[in-house]
Amino acid sequence: MRHDYCTRVPEFTVFLFPVCSHGTSDPKNSPYAEAMNVPFLIRYPDKLVPRTVDYLFSSPDIMPTLLGLSGFKKQIPQDVQGYDFSKTLLTNKVKGAIPNSVLYIKNIDGDKNEKGEVISYFPVSRGIKTSKYTLVLTINKKTKALEEVLFFDDEKDPYQMNNLDWNDFPQVRIILLSELSGLLKKADDLWYRERILNEIIPY
């Protein structure tokens, strides 16, 4: 049985989600909603009107957005991977194209030296999150072959209880894999550099 709790206090709202409800041993590095759907709160008196938006905002977007809000938009380095949401937040209008997907990355320990210390990482999973879907591909550590696919329709199945067969959704699969390829390229990710699963992902 699942329960979500929302506790209201005078100045803020606290949401408690059932972490580990999918039986994962690594809940905060998982692609499930309770790990990925984290509220991001910004308070900027006299600049931002209090409101709630449903933008797909990820960790790399924090730095350029805060710099943009602080008046340092021109100082944001060109090679910054994140998106600057400052203009959209300040005007309450969507200016141009804003991200419609975010990249999911999971790495695990790789090689160890003679002392048993981890000296590299293995890029075990990559995925994509949109407003409607979550898709995650996991590879075998020895062969780098596809080992597991997680595919959820988050609108119809918000608790992600039904892992769909992506072969039943060929057009959606093509769109998501193409978008994933672009995100991996933009991040210059190891999957892109090594063309991991190039028989599936259209690099």
Hey, what domains does the chain have and what are their CATH numbers? 1-99 (no CATH), 101-194 (3.30.1120.10)
pLDDT digits (tens, 9 = 90+) for 54-63: 889 998 999 9
| Distance separating alpha carbons of residues 98 and 101, to the nearest angstrom | 9
Closest by Cα among 128, 125, 145, 129 to 137:
125
Model-level pTM?
A: 0.82
CB atoms within 10 A of CB 86: 24
Q: Which residue has the tokens 């320990």?
A: 109
Residue 117 is predicted with a pLDDT of: 87
Residue 18 is predicted with a pLDDT of: 52
Each residue's pLDDT, cut to its tens digit, for the chain (203 residues) gives: 444 444 444 444 444 445 566 666 666 678 888 888 888 888 888 888 888 888 899 989 999 999 999 999 899 988 888 899 998 998 887 766 789 999 999 999 988 899 888 888 999 999 999 999 999 999 999 999 999 999 999 999 998 999 999 999 999 999 999 999 999 999 999 999 999 999 999 99
Q: Which residue has the tokens 């997907």?
A: 101
Residue 19 is predicted with a pLDDT of: 56
Residue 130 is predicted with a pLDDT of: 95
Main-chain phi, psi angles of 165, to 5 degrees: -85, 110
Residue 1 is predicted with a pLDDT of: 40
Residue 69 is predicted with a pLDDT of: 92
52 in helix, strand or coil?
coil
